[in-house]
Amino acid sequence: MNIYRITSIIGLLCCTIIASTQNTISFAQLFQTGDMTPYIGQTIQLTDTLHLNGWGSQMRYMWVSDHRAQNECEQGNMPREVFTFSLTDNNVNEYKRLGTKIANVTMRVTTAEYATLIGNATYVNDVRPNQHNHIGDYSLKVCGFNVEKFFIDVEGYETKTVKVVEALKNIDADIFGLCEVGEYPSAMYTLAATLNNAIGDDIYAATLDNIKDSTTYSRSGYLYKKALVTPYGGFTEASTSYIYKKRNIIQGFTENATGEKFILSMNHFKAKDTTTDESEGTRIDNATELINTLNNTVPYKYNDDDILILGDLNSCTGEIPLQMLYDEGYSCMMNKFEPNGYSIVYNRTVERLDHALASASMAAQVTGATTYHINTDERSGNTELNMYRSSDHDPVIIGLRLADDATKPSDECEGVKLATTFKNGLSPFTQQSVSGSQMWFSDANYGARMSGYASGNNDNIDWLISPALDLSNHSAAQLTFRHAINYDSNNKKSEYQTLWITDNYGGDVQTATWEQLTIPVYPNGANWTYASAGNIDIPQKYFKKNVRIAFKYISTTSESNATWQITDFNLQGTCAGTSLPQIEATKSFSVFVVDKEVNILRQAEGVSAIAILYDSMGQQISTKTVEDKAYFKISISGIYLLKIESEVYKIFVP
């Protein structure tokens, strides 16, 4: 054999060995081109732990990614779905719960998005919960639960009843607000009787809704422990729609031990369309009618400001119907206690459609909130006689400790303050570089400084990010800073030196949803003279937890390599005002609204009086002197408070 043939054989052997070598790579490397095409036919060992996000047809394969993905309509901190692929495990013969982690993955890539496990992977955290998370030191437990077509006399009713009753027994709430209950009034009463029979004692009763017809598709209702609470004030429908009036309901409850009261609103808004979002208009109508009822009927019928809104609103936290309720002063208890919680899984992503919102006075009495994941991570069609997959939604559970107005706990709002010159370091801000070698740094003379120039122009995208700010329970927040910009050759400061805000930052600027804030005043860009940026208001929708402010700097090789210097950053928040005098029994003035005009007429002779108009958060809007009459022009619909000397009037402006 000649040397050439020996060399050829050795080369062939080497190539064969290299071709069969197992690649050990990260998930990011696997999808660096957008899919797995470069690795088709190869055996891959992943360094990452995968997350099970969904099952394929008849559980033949799993959809997996390197994280549990959140639907894009949410505003939480969980990452969105970017890359998923199908993974087949021929050794798995039983269902694994969604969210299960898969470690020690070695697989054979068969197509751009399909792979098959080789050997045995390790499944982590595939455990069913048997109790819900802690909800604080509560005296009452309230649960909102979509029980998914709990209808009497339909196929599978017996199994469905067992599963729902087992779930209710396990949750052991003092009040259940239920939706998607069968159309017949007897469904709620049958459920109460069946639950009591399973417990072995006469514990629960159903509220009487006085709706006798049986032609609606489904309704909402309440079960309550008779020894702990008593309904009062009657049953209120929060919709004029023939269908939705039985789905969006309100009931007052008194805690027997303390005599304290609160209002519970249970709701089921219009379901989402599967292909379009045309149904959102109906959900907006649902929210509008609920708000009108809460504003116009509840204060007089139930005589209490403590309102808790529960239910399947079929809207994510960032969608319009929820924003409408936020704008009315209701705060999201899930954002406060469980910001990354979810109540349903759809198309391999998690989202929250089931909510708990509280009025300002009610929020101060909520001890905790959680979502109990007994359903959405379970296999659809599960007929086991237990509580798992009793519905397609997870129940939302709230802890309450009711108190009178004099002893209600405060929301501990102290007014956010954040001030720094950046001259002694960037802290408490952090810098994050998306691209380029240059980064933000602290200068003892000039503050925070960033330039893309280093031996020439360079491409850079760099962020300077504030710590998390808790702006919940605030009525206003404003920031200002001083800055200088030099070597700005193209006058694009509003594009390359900018200010941003987000409420879903999770450590990576590229996965957060940012909104640009306008900087009112920029320096001239041609020297080191500092200018005040002006007063910058934080938008109302960011009055919540985990808000971040960030400076973003961009430089390019062709357009901009300006130097940006920032100092004297100052952000201050104002807590929402809540202490206004109580409404008096007798009034000296007549107050009424016509065409968004609040009219005041004196009822009896007297000296001139001062009338002060407040918004629903207690912030003063305007002042008038009342002789015989006066009026205020209102441009924005909502609830207002009018104080005339010692008298206070609650007003709704449509």
Strand order in the sheet with 219-225: 204-206, 219-225, 175-181, 140-150, 396-400, 366-371
Contact criterion met (CB below 8 Å) for 71 and 87: no
Helix (H, G, I), strand (E, B) or coil at 76: coil
Measured in whole angstroms, the distance separating CA 290 from the mean position of its chain's CA atoms is: 20
Owner of token pair 């002006």: 534
Which fold does the domain 417-575 belong to in CATH?
A: Jelly Rolls (2.60.120)
Tell me the C-alpha distance between 50 and 65, whole Å.
5
Distant-in-sequence contacts of 374-381, Cβ < 8 A, 24+ apart:
374/128, 374/129, 374/167, 374/170, 376/98, 376/342, 376/343, 376/344, 376/345, 376/350, 377/97, 377/98, 377/99, 377/345, 378/95, 378/97, 378/98, 378/128, 379/55, 379/59, 379/95
The ranges assigned to domains in the chain are: 3-124, 140-400, 417-575, 589-653
Average pLDDT score over residue span 68-78: 76
393 pLDDT higher than 50: yes
412 pLDDT higher than 60: no
In this structure, what DSSP letter does residue 624 have? E
Tell me the C-alpha distance between 623 and 648, whole Å.
14
Helix (H, G, I), strand (E, B) or coil at 555: strand
590 pLDDT higher than 90: no
22 pLDDT higher than 60: yes
Average pLDDT score over residue span 365-374: 95
- Quote the pLDDT of residue 315: 92
- Does domain 140-400 match CATH 3.60.10.10? yes
Omega prior to 321 cis, within 30 of 0 = no
Contact criterion met (CB below 8 Å) for 428 and 418: yes
- Quote the pLDDT of residue 629: 78
Residue 94 pLDDT level (bands cut at 50, 70, 90):
confident
Q: Locate 46 and state its tokens.
A: 């992943």
Tell me the C-alpha distance between 227 and 57, whole Å.
48
Residue 75 pLDDT level (bands cut at 50, 70, 90):
low
271 pLDDT higher than 80: yes
Tell me the C-alpha distance between 212 and 184, whole Å.
8
Average pLDDT score over residue span 636-640: 74
Q: How large a percentage of the chain has pLDDT more than 70?
A: 88
14 pLDDT higher than 60: no
114 pLDDT higher than 70: yes
- Quote the pLDDT of residue 93: 81
Q: What is the pLDDT of residues 228-269, one digit of tens each?
A: 999 998 888 888 777 787 899 999 999 999 999 999 999 999
Average pLDDT score over residue span 334-361: 91
- Quote the pLDDT of residue 118: 93
Contact criterion met (CB below 8 Å) for 315 and 283: yes
Residue 76 pLDDT level (bands cut at 50, 70, 90):
low
Tell me the C-alpha distance between 181 and 150, whole Å.
5
Q: What is the pLDDT of residues 137-164, one digit of tens each?
A: 999 999 999 999 888 777 778 999 999 9
Measured in whole angstroms, the distance separating CA 401 from the mean position of its chain's CA atoms is: 23
Between the alpha carbon of residue 494 and those of residues 338, 488, 525, 569, the distances in Å are 36, 11, 12, 19
Tell me the C-alpha distance between 462 and 562, whole Å.
13
Average pLDDT score over residue span 412-431: 84
Q: Which of 263, 302, 252, 307 is nearest to 616 (CA)?
A: 307
636 pLDDT higher than 80: no
Average pLDDT score over residue span 316-326: 87
In this structure, what DSSP letter does residue 414 have? -
Q: What is the pLDDT of residues 304-319, one digit of tens each?
A: 899 999 999 999 887 8
587 pLDDT higher than 70: no
Average pLDDT of every residue of the chain: 85
Element (H, E) at 186: helix 186-199
Between the alpha carbon of residue 249 and those of residues 265, 301, 366, 507, 628, the distances in Å are 6, 14, 21, 41, 41
Which one is the CATH code of 589-653: 3.40.50.1100, 3.40.50.2300, 3.40.630.30, 2.60.40.3080?
2.60.40.3080
- Quote the pLDDT of residue 214: 53
Average pLDDT score over residue span 551-566: 88
Which fold does the domain 3-124 belong to in CATH?
A: OB fold (Dihydrolipoamide Acetyltransferase, E2P) (2.40.50)
Owner of token pair 């407040």: 614
In this structure, what DSSP letter does residue 110 have? -
582 pLDDT higher than 50: no
Name which residue leads in pLDDT, 607 or 64.
64
